[in-house]
């Protein structure tokens, strides 16, 4: 395995004056290894950790680690840093808001930027009619809010998610999650009244009439169907054309609310503002988090005003939800995404997909599939071990990517990626695949020697 090591002096230069990637120590370096050892002593071992990247600074597409190595970021903090690291407009908005007002709970008081952000997100939602928005802090909170709202508004008890879906880790959202059994292990009893449908093929929709409504529960007792328009953590799975359209028709027919969990796929990532727009489908409720505030914690649930008006005062709220600084970051992010980043995600996504498909053609037995839309791209490898090996071999070469599903590596870079960033990422990815295909045990051995991976090697989110 080769590794480019340039002069350690380069690490003292500003990020903007260095090439990316730029590795100046072995990977992980001594400071990173020390940071990992300290972390592993004090933090919850439940955190899965993909590999020992120890980020201390970021700019645009670059992440600098504790040893001064620069990595090209195609993981974006699990599909979060939509506008790149520390975009000057976002940082400016954060600083300005922090100097005015950091917190004053919008649950109990009228914080102007909260309402402004609620409107801004409703304005870009893929739904017609009068809308309102509830703001929270994270993805899982939005899923909880949607489950509560759906039950409250319809008076119906049941909620349906999909096999392979991921919606978060709190009790309601983890019940809805069905991507890996480990998320449920030893946590039962989970939330009652949740079913899981097969995902993705038009023919799968028959399950609702043939099994769910026929054998299990009447359709008029189902409050909501919650779907990721493109499954994320479950493996970057794009549904067949007709699947989401069919789901919409089924929901309308039975008075069931269609909830689009766009927490990973939304905010321009797929080359449209929302992934569901690729199929021209309008959800009843939209869930947003991750990319919406460029890394500040913010979640949003957008729903028809009538629906949100149906739950009363005190039915839901949060001390921090829609924090003013996170809202300021969201307003700057929305402006940037609307003014060029969606188009860039579409163009750079096409470029990346073409390059990755060539790798698939060169290594058909190692790379089984390349799929996705825009900059939400999954590369399925022939085995879980190969996916880990490719992820590790990319890391060793200065490219950050992230596994998902059983044996898929996802590329979900900031939406500011340039043509040359994509060219570099595809080149490194190709080298990593070639390395993993030719020397599988060697790649796994160096990963193990570096103490890199948790025993199951799986990442979440
Ligand atoms: N929904 C989807 C589609 C996600 O990808 C995630 C996280 O990865 C969540 C919900 C949960 O979000 P959070 O980790 O912010 O709670």
Q: Are residues 294 and 189 in the same domain?
A: yes
pLDDT digits (tens, 9 = 90+) for 223-251: 999 999 999 999 999 999 999 999 999 99
- Across the range 290-316, mean pLDDT stands at 97
CATH number of the domain that residue 310 is part of? 3.40.640.10
What is the CA angle 441-445-448, rounded to 5?
140
Q: Are residues 301 and 358 in the same domain?
A: no
Q: Are residues 362 and 427 in the same domain?
A: yes
Q: How many whole angstroms separate alpha carbon 224 and alpha carbon 161?
A: 9
3-state secondary structure 200-234: CCHHHHHHHHHHHHHHHCCHHHEEEEEECCCECCC
459 falls within a domain: no
The residue whose C-alpha atom lies closest to atom 10 belonging to ligand 1 is 167
Q: Are residues 286 and 369 in the same domain?
A: no
Q: How many whole angstroms separate alpha carbon 349 and alpha carbon 433?
A: 19
Nearest ligand 1 atom, CA 233 = 5
What is the CA angle 452-456-460, rounded to 5?
90
Q: Are residues 280 and 176 in the same domain?
A: yes
Do the bridges between strand 131-136 and strand 367-373 make them parallel or antiparallel, or are there none, so unpaired?
unpaired
pLDDT digits (tens, 9 = 90+) for 246-280: 999 999 999 999 999 999 999 999 999 999 999 99
225 falls within a domain: yes
Strands across the sheet containing 131-136:
131-136, 299-304, 285-288, 257-261, 222-227, 158-162, 194-197
332 falls within a domain: no
The residue whose C-alpha atom lies closest to atom 8 belonging to ligand 1 is 461
Q: Are residues 71 and 112 in the same domain?
A: no
Which residue in this structure is represented by tokens 């991750």?
290
Distance 166 CA to ligand 1 centre (A): 7
Q: Determine the pLDDT at residue 10.
A: 83
* Pair 229, 276: CB distance under 8 Å: yes
Distance 264 CA to ligand 1 centre (A): 7
Q: Determine the pLDDT at residue 262.
A: 99
Q: How many whole angstroms separate alpha carbon 398 and alpha carbon 395?
A: 5
Question: Does residue 454 surpass a pLDDT of 60?
Answer: no
Q: Which of 334, 223, 206 is nearest to 274 (CA)?
A: 334
Nearest ligand 1 atom, CA 143 = 10
Which residue in this structure is represented by tokens 């073409």?
354
**CA-CA distances (angstroms) from residue 235 to 131, 387, 409, 431?**
32, 12, 8, 22
Query: Is ligand 1 within 6 A of the CB of residue 139?
Result: yes
pLDDT digits (tens, 9 = 90+) for 54-64: 999 999 999 99
Strand pairing partners for 371?
378
- Name the region of 255 (left: φ>0; alpha: ψ -120 to 50; beta: rest): left
Q: Are residues 379 and 434 in the same domain?
A: yes
Half-sphere exposure of residue 204: CA atoms within 13 angstroms, side-chain side: 16
Q: Are residues 183 and 270 in the same domain?
A: yes
Question: Does residue 446 surpass a pLDDT of 80?
Answer: no
Nearest ligand 1 atom, CA 265 = 3
Strands across the sheet containing 402-404:
367-373, 376-381, 408-411, 402-404
2 falls within a domain: no
Residues 6+ apart with CB under 8 A from 421: 20, 61, 72, 348, 413
Q: How many whole angstroms separate alpha carbon 193 and alpha carbon 161?
A: 11
Q: Are residues 164 and 212 in the same domain?
A: yes
Q: Taking all residues of the chain, what is their mean pLDDT, rounded to a whole number?
A: 95
Q: Determine the pLDDT at residue 453.
A: 52
With 0-12 / 13-18 / 19 or more C-beta atoms within 10 angstroms meaning exposed / middle / buried, residue 221 is middle
Q: Are residues 175 and 284 in the same domain?
A: yes
Question: Does residue 399 surpass a pLDDT of 50?
Answer: yes
Residues 6+ apart with CB under 8 A from 429: 355, 356, 359, 379, 390, 394, 399, 401, 411
At 183, is the secondary structure helix, strand, or coil? helix
pTM, 2 dp: 0.96
Buried residues in 70-101 as b, exposed as e (16+ CB within 10 A):
bbbbbbbbbbbbbbbbbbeebeebbeebeeee
Distance 167 CA to ligand 1 centre (A): 5
First vs last Cα of the chain: how many Å apart? Answer: 30
143, 264, 274: residue to mutate for ligand 1 pocket, most atoms within 8 A of CB: 264
With 0-12 / 13-18 / 19 or more C-beta atoms within 10 angstroms meaning exposed / middle / buried, residue 397 is buried
pLDDT digits (tens, 9 = 90+) for 93-105: 999 999 999 999 9
3 falls within a domain: no
Q: Determine the pLDDT at residue 9.
A: 78
The residue whose C-alpha atom lies closest to atom 7 belonging to ligand 1 is 461
Backbone angles phi, psi at 140, to 5 degrees: -60, -35
Q: Where is the domain boundary, 294, 322, 350?
A: 322
Q: Are residues 311 and 354 in the same domain?
A: no
Q: How many whole angstroms separate alpha carbon 396 and alpha carbon 42?
A: 26
Question: Does residue 455 surpass a pLDDT of 90?
Answer: no
What is the CA angle 112-113-118, rounded to 5?
105
H/E stretch holding 310? none
User: How confident is residue 8, by pLDDT bands cut at 50, 70 and 90?
Assistant: low
**Percent of the chain, pLDDT > 70?**
96
93 falls within a domain: no
Which residue in this structure is represented by tokens 């909170």?
141
User: How confident is residue 448, by pLDDT bands cut at 50, 70 and 90?
Assistant: confident
Q: Are residues 298 and 347 in the same domain?
A: no
Q: Determine the pLDDT at residue 2.
A: 46
**CA-CA distances (angstroms) from residue 349 to 61, 239, 272, 413, 430?**
15, 18, 11, 10, 16
Residues of the domain holding 439: 8-87+341-449
Query: Is ligand 1 within 6 A of the CB of residue 60?
Result: no
Distance 174 CA to ligand 1 centre (A): 10
How many domains is the chain partitioned into structurally?
Answer: 2
Distance 136 CA to ligand 1 centre (A): 13
Q: How many whole angstroms separate alpha carbon 211 and alpha carbon 221?
A: 15
Distance 262 CA to ligand 1 centre (A): 9
Distance 459 CA to ligand 1 centre (A): 13
Question: Does residue 40 surpass a pLDDT of 70?
Answer: yes
Question: Does residue 187 surpass a pLDDT of 60?
Answer: yes
96 falls within a domain: no
Q: Determine the pLDDT at residue 325.
A: 98
27 falls within a domain: yes
Residues 6+ apart with CB under 8 A from 188: none
CATH number of the domain that residue 66 is part of? 3.90.1150.10
Distance 7 CA to ligand 1 centre (A): 39
pLDDT digits (tens, 9 = 90+) for 117-169: 999 999 999 999 999 999 999 999 999 999 999 999 999 999 999 999 999 99
Residues 6+ apart with CB under 8 A from 345: 268, 269, 270, 271, 374, 375, 415
DSSP assignment string, 329-369 = HHHHHHHHIIIIIHHHHHHHHHHHHHHHHHHHHH-TTTEEE
């Amino acid at each position: 395995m080769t590794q480019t090591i340039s002069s350690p002096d380069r690490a003292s230069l500003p990020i903007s004056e260095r090439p990316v990637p730029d590795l100046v120590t072995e990977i992980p370096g001594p400071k990173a290894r020390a940071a990992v050892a300290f972390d592993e002593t004090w933090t919850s071992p439940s955190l899965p950790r993909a590999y020992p990247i120890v980020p201390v600074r970021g700019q645009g597409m670059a992440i600098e680690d504790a040893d001064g190595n620069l990595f090209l970021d195609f993981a974006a903090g699990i599909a979060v840093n939509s506008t790149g690291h520390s975009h000057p407009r976002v940082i400016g908005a954060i600083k300005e808001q922090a100097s005015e007002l950091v917190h004053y709970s919008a649950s109990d008081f009228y914080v102007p930027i909260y309402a402004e952000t609620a409107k801004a997100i409703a304005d870009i939602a893929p739904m017609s009619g009068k809308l309102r928005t509830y703001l929270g802090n994270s993805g899982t909170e939005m899923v909880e809010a949607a489950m509560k709202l759906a039950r409250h508004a319809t008076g119906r008890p049941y909620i349906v998610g999909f096999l392979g879906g991921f919606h978060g880790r709190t009790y309601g959202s983890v019940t809805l999650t069905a991507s890996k059994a480990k998320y449920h292990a030893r946590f039962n009893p989970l939330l009652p009244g949740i079913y899981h449908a097969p995902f993705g093929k038009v023919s799968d929709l028959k399950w609702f009439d043939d099994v769910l409504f026929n054998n299990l529960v009447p359709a008029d007792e189902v409050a909501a169907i919650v779907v990721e328009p493109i499954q994320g953590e479950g493996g970057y799975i794009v549904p067949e054309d007709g699947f989401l359209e069919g789901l919409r028709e089924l929901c309308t027919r039975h008075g069931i609310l269609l909830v689009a969990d766009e927490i990973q796929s939304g905010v321009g990532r797929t080359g449209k503002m929302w992934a569901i727009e690729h199929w021209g489908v309008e959800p009843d409720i939209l869930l947003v988090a991750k990319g919406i505030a460029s890394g500040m914690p913010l979640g949003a649930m957008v729903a028809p005003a009538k629906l949100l008006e149906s739950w009363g005062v005190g039915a839901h709220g949060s001390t921090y939800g829609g924090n003013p600084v996170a809202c300021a970051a969201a307003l700057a992010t929305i402006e940037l995404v609307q003014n060029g980043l969606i188009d860039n995600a579409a163009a750079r996504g096409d470029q990346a997909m073409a390059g990755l498909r060539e790798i698939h053609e060169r290594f058909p037995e190692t790379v089984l599939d390349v799929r996705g839309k825009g900059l939400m791209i999954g590369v399925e490898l022939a085995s879980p071990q190969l996916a880990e090996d490719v992820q590790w071999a990319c890391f060793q070469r200065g490219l950050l990517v992230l596994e998902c599903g059983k044996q898929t590596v996802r590329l979900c870079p900031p939406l500011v990626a340039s043509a040359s960033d994509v060219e570099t990422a595809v080149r490194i990815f190709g080298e990593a695949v070639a390395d993993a295909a030719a020397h599988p045990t060697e790649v796994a051995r160096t990963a193990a020697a570096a103490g890199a991976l948790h025993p199951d090697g799986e990442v979440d989110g």
